[in-house]
Amino acid sequence: MIGSTIRIGHMDVAGFSLFDCRDFPVVRFIGTPEEGYAASWCAEMDRLLARESPFVLIYPPRPDEEAHADRVSRGQWLKRNKAALAARCLALIVIEPDARRRAEIEAIFPDLVKAFGAPQATRASAAEAEALARHLIGGGALSDGAA
């Protein structure tokens, strides 16, 4: 993807309740990880992958842990779809204002990338996450220090 620009096209956003896809290829998680949400998460991720277009996921800070069953279900989906996710998801960007917590999250990224394929990053604010997403969509890389 380096050096290329992603075309932004219309995406049918009907049926998405956990992800805001109106600004595709920037996709924002807007749901709440309430117990039982994993089935909807998996179905919406299937729809994102079916588009066969690169995208960036932005996640807001998550104050609460998700239910164990949801974490397991999502983890299984991520493992089953590792290759497709790696091919289409330019990055999963987590917004975390707290520097200490950001460092903790970043420390586990190598294992998550190895397990699930998609590059991951943190940013302190929504504006920084958005800037990184736009940089990646424009053909930039996580490794070049953008945003």
For the chain, give the percent of residues with pLDDT over 70. 87
* Cα distance between residue 126 and residue 60, in whole Å: 8
Dig out the tokens for 104 from the structure. 């903790």
pLDDT band at 8 (very low <50, low <70, confident <90, very high): very low
**Residue 90 clears pLDDT 50, i.e. is over it:** yes
For the chain, give the percent of residues with pLDDT over 90. 68
Its pTM stands at: 0.86
Pick the closest to residue 91 from 52, 22, 140, 44 (CA basis): 140
Which is higher by pLDDT, 84 or 4? 84
Asked if 135 and 97 touch (Cβ cutoff 8 Å), the reply is no
- Mean of the per-residue pLDDT values for the chain? 87
* Cα distance between residue 31 and residue 19, in whole Å: 7
